[in-house]
Protein backbone atom coordinates (compact mmCIF):
# COMPACT_ATOMS: atom_id res chain seq x y z
CA UNK A 1 0.00 0.00 0.00
CA UNK A 2 1.40 3.34 -1.10
CA UNK A 3 1.64 6.41 1.07
CA UNK A 4 -1.55 8.27 2.07
CA UNK A 5 -0.54 11.56 0.54
CA UNK A 6 0.32 9.98 -2.76
CA UNK A 7 -3.04 8.24 -2.83
CA UNK A 8 -4.86 11.43 -2.02
CA UNK A 9 -3.04 13.24 -4.76
CA UNK A 10 -3.84 10.52 -7.26
CA UNK A 11 -7.52 10.70 -6.38
CA UNK A 12 -7.53 14.48 -6.69
CA UNK A 13 -5.84 14.25 -10.06
CA UNK A 14 -8.35 11.66 -11.23
CA UNK A 15 -11.30 13.76 -10.12
CA UNK A 16 -9.94 16.79 -11.89
CA UNK A 17 -9.32 14.87 -15.07
CA UNK A 18 -12.84 13.42 -14.98
CA UNK A 19 -14.35 16.85 -14.37
CA UNK A 20 -12.38 18.38 -17.25
CA UNK A 21 -13.37 15.59 -19.59
CA UNK A 22 -17.06 15.79 -18.72
CA UNK A 23 -17.03 19.55 -19.19
CA UNK A 24 -15.38 19.02 -22.59
CA UNK A 25 -17.97 16.39 -23.53
CA UNK A 26 -20.95 18.36 -22.25
CA UNK A 27 -22.37 19.15 -25.68
CA UNK A 28 -21.81 15.63 -26.94
CA UNK A 29 -23.52 14.00 -23.96
CA UNK A 30 -26.37 16.46 -24.27
CA UNK A 31 -26.79 15.58 -27.93
CA UNK A 32 -26.98 11.90 -27.07
CA UNK A 33 -29.55 12.60 -24.34
CA UNK A 34 -31.60 14.88 -26.56
CA UNK A 35 -32.16 12.03 -29.00
CA UNK A 36 -33.63 9.61 -26.46
CA UNK A 37 -33.97 11.58 -23.23
CA UNK A 38 -34.38 15.11 -21.98
CA UNK A 39 -31.16 16.67 -23.18
CA UNK A 40 -29.62 17.23 -19.77
CA UNK A 41 -27.06 14.48 -19.30
CA UNK A 42 -24.19 16.72 -20.41
CA UNK A 43 -25.27 19.48 -18.04
CA UNK A 44 -25.87 17.00 -15.23
CA UNK A 45 -22.46 15.36 -15.48
CA UNK A 46 -20.39 18.49 -16.11
CA UNK A 47 -22.12 20.49 -13.39
CA UNK A 48 -21.96 17.58 -10.97
CA UNK A 49 -18.27 16.85 -11.42
CA UNK A 50 -17.29 20.51 -11.50
CA UNK A 51 -18.86 20.87 -8.05
CA UNK A 52 -17.15 17.66 -7.00
CA UNK A 53 -13.75 19.00 -8.09
CA UNK A 54 -14.36 22.23 -6.15
CA UNK A 55 -15.49 20.40 -3.04
CA UNK A 56 -12.76 17.82 -3.04
CA UNK A 57 -9.93 20.32 -3.44
CA UNK A 58 -10.31 21.37 0.17
CA UNK A 59 -10.57 17.87 1.62
CA UNK A 60 -7.73 16.04 3.26
CA UNK A 61 -9.41 12.98 4.77
CA UNK A 62 -8.48 9.52 3.59
CA UNK A 63 -9.28 8.21 0.14
CA UNK A 64 -12.51 6.57 1.32
CA UNK A 65 -13.72 9.87 2.73
CA UNK A 66 -12.81 11.80 -0.38
CA UNK A 67 -14.62 9.34 -2.61
CA UNK A 68 -17.63 9.40 -0.30
CA UNK A 69 -17.73 13.19 -0.68
CA UNK A 70 -17.71 12.74 -4.45
CA UNK A 71 -20.88 10.66 -4.09
CA UNK A 72 -22.60 12.97 -1.64
CA UNK A 73 -21.87 15.97 -3.85
CA UNK A 74 -23.22 14.28 -6.97
CA UNK A 75 -26.36 13.28 -5.12
CA UNK A 76 -27.12 16.83 -4.12
CA UNK A 77 -26.05 18.43 -7.41
CA UNK A 78 -27.51 16.08 -9.98
CA UNK A 79 -31.29 15.80 -10.11
CA UNK A 80 -31.65 13.30 -12.93
CA UNK A 81 -31.30 9.52 -12.90
CA UNK A 82 -27.54 9.92 -12.99
CA UNK A 83 -27.53 11.68 -9.61
CA UNK A 84 -28.69 8.72 -7.52
CA UNK A 85 -27.03 6.20 -9.85
CA UNK A 86 -23.55 7.72 -9.96
CA UNK A 87 -23.66 9.59 -6.66
CA UNK A 88 -25.50 7.05 -4.51
CA UNK A 89 -23.42 4.15 -5.81
CA UNK A 90 -20.11 5.99 -5.27
CA UNK A 91 -21.23 6.84 -1.74
CA UNK A 92 -22.06 3.22 -1.08
CA UNK A 93 -18.93 1.75 -2.67
CA UNK A 94 -16.63 4.22 -0.90
CA UNK A 95 -16.94 1.99 2.18
CA UNK A 96 -14.71 -0.52 0.42
CA UNK A 97 -11.83 1.96 0.39
CA UNK A 98 -11.38 2.06 4.16
CA UNK A 99 -7.94 0.51 3.84
CA UNK A 100 -6.88 2.86 1.07
CA UNK A 101 -6.61 2.16 -2.61
CA UNK A 102 -5.11 -1.23 -3.42
CA UNK A 103 -5.78 -3.59 -6.27
CA UNK A 104 -8.01 -5.62 -3.90
CA UNK A 105 -10.00 -2.64 -2.63
CA UNK A 106 -10.33 -1.29 -6.14
CA UNK A 107 -11.98 -4.55 -7.21
CA UNK A 108 -14.23 -4.47 -4.15
CA UNK A 109 -15.11 -0.85 -4.93
CA UNK A 110 -15.93 -1.66 -8.55
CA UNK A 111 -18.12 -4.58 -7.58
CA UNK A 112 -19.95 -2.68 -4.85
CA UNK A 113 -20.51 0.17 -7.29
CA UNK A 114 -21.94 -2.10 -9.97
CA UNK A 115 -24.16 -3.88 -7.43
CA UNK A 116 -25.58 -0.62 -6.19
CA UNK A 117 -26.26 0.71 -9.69
CA UNK A 118 -28.11 -2.50 -10.52
CA UNK A 119 -29.93 -2.56 -7.23
CA UNK A 120 -30.99 1.07 -7.44
CA UNK A 121 -31.94 1.13 -11.10
CA UNK A 122 -33.21 -2.40 -11.56
CA UNK A 123 -31.78 -2.48 -15.07
CA UNK A 124 -30.54 -5.75 -16.53
CA UNK A 125 -27.73 -5.84 -19.05
CA UNK A 126 -29.31 -5.07 -22.42
CA UNK A 127 -31.76 -2.49 -21.11
CA UNK A 128 -29.68 0.20 -22.88
CA UNK A 129 -28.29 1.95 -19.79
CA UNK A 130 -24.96 2.65 -18.12
CA UNK A 131 -25.16 -0.93 -16.82
CA UNK A 132 -24.25 -2.11 -20.33
CA UNK A 133 -20.90 -0.31 -20.15
CA UNK A 134 -20.33 -0.89 -16.47
CA UNK A 135 -20.94 -4.62 -16.27
CA UNK A 136 -18.33 -5.77 -18.81
CA UNK A 137 -15.90 -3.17 -17.46
CA UNK A 138 -16.18 -4.44 -13.90
CA UNK A 139 -16.12 -8.08 -14.98
CA UNK A 140 -13.00 -7.53 -17.07
CA UNK A 141 -11.26 -5.61 -14.33
CA UNK A 142 -11.97 -8.24 -11.69
CA UNK A 143 -10.95 -11.12 -13.90
CA UNK A 144 -7.72 -9.38 -14.96
CA UNK A 145 -6.70 -8.82 -11.36
CA UNK A 146 -8.06 -11.84 -9.54
CA UNK A 147 -7.68 -14.56 -12.15
CA UNK A 148 -4.93 -13.36 -14.45
CA UNK A 149 -2.96 -11.50 -11.78
CA UNK A 150 -2.36 -8.55 -14.09
CA UNK A 151 -1.24 -5.17 -12.78
CA UNK A 152 -4.07 -2.68 -12.08
CA UNK A 153 -3.05 -0.49 -15.01
CA UNK A 154 -3.44 -3.33 -17.49
CA UNK A 155 -6.68 -4.37 -15.81
CA UNK A 156 -8.00 -0.84 -16.12
CA UNK A 157 -7.11 -0.77 -19.81
CA UNK A 158 -9.15 -3.93 -20.27
CA UNK A 159 -12.04 -2.33 -18.39
CA UNK A 160 -11.95 0.67 -20.73
CA UNK A 161 -11.95 -1.61 -23.73
CA UNK A 162 -14.90 -3.54 -22.33
CA UNK A 163 -16.83 -0.36 -21.56
CA UNK A 164 -16.21 0.83 -25.10
CA UNK A 165 -17.82 -2.33 -26.45
CA UNK A 166 -20.67 -1.84 -23.99
CA UNK A 167 -21.29 1.65 -25.30
CA UNK A 168 -21.38 0.37 -28.89
CA UNK A 169 -23.66 -2.45 -27.79
CA UNK A 170 -26.25 0.06 -26.53
CA UNK A 171 -26.74 1.59 -29.99
CA UNK A 172 -28.88 -1.12 -31.60
CA UNK A 173 -30.80 -1.92 -28.41
CA UNK A 174 -34.29 -0.91 -27.45
CA UNK A 175 -34.33 0.96 -24.10
CA UNK A 176 -36.13 -0.84 -21.28
CA UNK A 177 -35.22 1.44 -18.36
CA UNK A 178 -35.02 5.16 -17.72
CA UNK A 179 -36.56 7.94 -19.75
CA UNK A 180 -35.45 6.46 -23.08
CA UNK A 181 -37.75 3.49 -22.46
CA UNK A 182 -40.72 5.79 -23.12
CA UNK A 183 -39.53 6.00 -26.72
CA UNK A 184 -39.67 2.22 -26.99
CA UNK A 185 -38.69 1.21 -30.57
CA UNK A 186 -37.72 4.74 -31.42
CA UNK A 187 -34.78 4.43 -29.01
CA UNK A 188 -33.13 1.84 -31.29
CA UNK A 189 -30.14 3.22 -33.19
CA UNK A 190 -29.13 5.75 -30.54
CA UNK A 191 -26.18 5.51 -28.17
CA UNK A 192 -26.95 5.61 -24.45
CA UNK A 193 -25.71 8.79 -22.72
CA UNK A 194 -25.08 7.19 -19.32
CA UNK A 195 -23.07 4.32 -20.81
CA UNK A 196 -21.06 6.92 -22.69
CA UNK A 197 -20.29 9.04 -19.61
CA UNK A 198 -19.30 5.85 -17.78
CA UNK A 199 -16.77 5.15 -20.55
CA UNK A 200 -15.42 8.72 -20.41
CA UNK A 201 -14.85 8.44 -16.67
CA UNK A 202 -13.03 5.13 -17.02
CA UNK A 203 -10.88 6.57 -19.83
CA UNK A 204 -9.82 9.41 -17.56
CA UNK A 205 -9.06 7.06 -14.68
CA UNK A 206 -6.84 5.10 -17.05
CA UNK A 207 -5.13 8.22 -18.37
CA UNK A 208 -4.35 9.41 -14.84
CA UNK A 209 -3.17 5.96 -13.76
CA UNK A 210 -0.80 5.89 -16.71
Partner 1 sequence: MVGLVVVSHSAKAAEGICEVAAQMGSAKAELVAAGGEEDGEIGTSAPKISEAIEAAADDDGVVVLVDLGSAVMNAELAIEMLDADYEVRIADAPILEGTLNAAVTAAGSRATLESVLESAEDAREYRKLG
Ligand X SMILES: Nc1ncnc2c1ncn2[C@@H]1O[C@H](COP(=O)(O)OP(=O)(O)O)[C@@H](O)[C@H]1O
Which residues are near Mg ion by CB under 5 A?
A: 33, 37-38, 40-41, 80
Does an H or E element contain 163, and which?
Answer: helix 152-170
The secondary structure of residue 173, as a DSSP letter, is: S
The 103-142 contact track toward ligand X, x by CB under 6 A, reads: --------------x---xxx-----xxx-----------
Which DSSP symbol is given to 187? G
Q: Return the number of the residue (4 or 119) whose C-beta is nearest partner 1.
A: 119
Q: Are 21 and 203 in contact (CB under 8 A)?
A: yes
CA dihedral (61, 64, 65, 71) positive or negative: positive
Which region, judged by CB under 6 A, interacts with ligand X, from 55-63, 78-86, 100-108, 141-149?
78-86
Q: Which residue is nearest to Mg ion (CB)?
A: 80
Options 57-65, 104-112, 152-160, 174-182: segment touching partner 1 (CB under 8 A)? 174-182
Binding status of residue 88 toward partner 1 by CB under 8 A: yes
- How far apart CA 163 and CA 133 sit, in angstroms, is 4
Amino acid sequence: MVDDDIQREAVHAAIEAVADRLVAEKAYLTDLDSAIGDADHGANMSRGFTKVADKVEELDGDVGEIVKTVGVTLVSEVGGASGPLYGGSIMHASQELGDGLTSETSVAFAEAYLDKVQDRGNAEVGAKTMVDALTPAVHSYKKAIEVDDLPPLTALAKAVDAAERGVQFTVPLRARKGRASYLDWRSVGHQDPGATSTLFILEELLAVAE
